Structure 1
């Protein structure tokens, strides 16, 4: 299993610290969080992308993918006026351009909350319109666009494996793919390995965390209620050969070094036992 480190939890310090820790703790790659102060797409475009590429070379770690912030702060392609929608799509396209310059394996996006009271047919039309344009751009620049399902605490648009399948059927693009974050299926009572069965070669990435089973909280492996060791072994025994990023986010920003070390230690223990 190839294990990645997600840089979101390091946002209170320099990005280089995430690269150093990833190397020192034995991570196999880096998933870049696309927010300030580290790797906000306009800042990358202004020249910061060279720094990220240099860090990747210096520490000998590939950039697995680029994950810009796109859920309502301030960008959400599913909510707001036409101007807001247009700005969100332009930001995602810029993010894809920057991912290309960083030699990232993909750009990862999600469909944020579409708002309460909006009819499902209305927000689905908006989703498909957005993704048709974005998938076309991804094809033009030869960049995989990974659509991540979220928990129902975060979104009312793409939350289940069947939601992803519907999108893939509605948009025929070789560059539009998806991934598994183990939290959404766990909190919804959905079999986690169903993603591998249903998505097949359209499943391009995995986020590993633990979960309490009743929120969108992302816990260090071993701290939640998920049978994570069994999940890890099932993934290991499947045909999946991509990266599994341990997605520690805001809960562990107080000391990301400590928890990044603990997280990979726990995952490796689970793999060995």
Structure 2
């Protein structure tokens, strides 16, 4: 049963942390992948508030294998940069960092940069952290417009943030930013943890949903399809009914996959295979 095109599967390199970028790309080429969501983490890509890797070289490595990078996802959990940074100097460095990610994304040929709300101190007034987050995302939306990209904001789990962790939170932030280059993405792990559904997100945002981190879960965990308890076929049918033509980012982050990521990507693509035909 054909429910999606293989071009919609956006492979990510985040679980190839202990392997070279070329190893990751060669694996995806063998699997028939055509679309990349680039995690801009070292050692695959260097990005900070002042500079970033040679995008011509990175783009060539991708395109010579018949693939394109469509989404750029700057690291914002492990590193010091995030969207609601609490200290003024780090806040401005974070803005420069994410601005550089947008510039790199433009050079790479990306359509979208994945973002989130960031987080504040757990002991501070949530409203103050939300103000910083909204200000950052609004400023970055202007940069995105200049660079020809969209931002796509996902929700986070409550263990990661006290800002945008639910559909209701996402709608409030979306309405406040109110920018044509500020779009929405679904992270199925955060969605599942919040007890929400794909239908609910599309009922609220419709065509403003331009990207997804589409992975299995329990509902926690960013898992290979088949390792969690979500119903892949049912979800793909829902996306087909909604007319979703965007990308499905494979954000696989469980550390059990890091030792041999290629074998797990093979399993993941096998789960999708019958829905390409």
When the two structures are superposed, what TM-score results if normalisation uses the length of structure 1? Answer: 0.92
What residue number does 1:27 align with? 33
Which of 245, 261, 265 in structure 2 is aligned with 1:241? 245
Deviation string for 1:216-248 (max 9, x for gaps)?
Answer: x21111111222331122113321111112221
The one of 262, 265, 269 aligned to 1:260? 265
CA RMSD of aligned residues (A): 1.9
Q: Does 1:74 find its partner at 2:80?
A: yes
Query: Which blocks of at least 5 consecutive residues in structure 2 are unaligned?
Result: none
For 2:135 and 2:47, locate their aligned partners in 1 and report how far apart those are by CA, in whole Å: 23
**How far 1:91 moved relative to its partner?**
0.2
Superposed displacement of residue 80, structure 1: 2.4
TM-score if structure 2 supplies the norm length?
0.91
Q: Distance in 1 between matches of 2:50 and 2:214?
A: 27
Q: C-alpha distance in 1, partners of 2:234/2:52?
A: 44
Structure 2: how far apart are the matches of 1:122 and 1:92? 21
For 2:218, the equivalent position in structure 1 comes to 212
Which residue does the alignment assign to 2:102? 96
Contact residue 52 and residue 100 of structure 2 kept, 8 A: no
Larger displacement relative to structure 2 (35-44 or 73-82): 35-44
Q: CA deviation at 1:45?
A: 4.5
Shift of 1:40: 2.4
Distance change >3 Å, CA 43–CA 103, structure 1 → 2: farther
Deviates more, 1:17-26 or 1:71-80: 71-80
Q: Distance in 2 between matches of 1:42 and 1:49?
A: 14
- Aligned mate of 1:3, from 9, 27, 41: 9
Distance 1:158 1:80 in 2: 16
CA distance in 2, matches of 1:21, 1:272: 19
Task: Specify whether residues 12 and 72 from structure 1 end up closer, same or farther in structure 2 by C-alpha distance, changes over 3 A only.
Answer: closer
Q: Is the 1:66–1:99 Cα contact (8 Å) retained in structure 2?
A: yes
Describe the shift of the 1:66–1:267 C-alpha distance in structure 2 as closer, same or farther (beyond 3 A).
same
- Does the C-alpha gap of structure 1 residues 247 and 46 become closer, same or farther in structure 2, counting only changes over 3 Å? closer
Equivalent position of 2:167 in the other structure:
161
Q: For the Cα contact (< 8 Å) 2:144–2:151, is it kept in 1?
A: yes
Provide runs of 4+ in structure 1 moved above 3 Å.
42-47
Unaligned runs of 5+ in 1: none
Which residue number corresponds to residue 228 of structure 1? 232
For residue 142 of structure 1, what is the aligned residue in structure 2?
148
Kept in 1: contact 2:112–2:149 (CA 8 A): yes
Q: Mapping of 1:102-117 within 5 angstroms? A: 102-117=108-123
**Following the alignment from structure 1 to structure 2, what is the Cα–Cα distance between the partners of residues 171 and 39?**
29
Which range is displaced more, 22-31 or 229-238? 229-238
Task: Return the alpha-carbon distance in structure 2 between the equivalents of residues 127 and 46 of structure 1.
Answer: 23
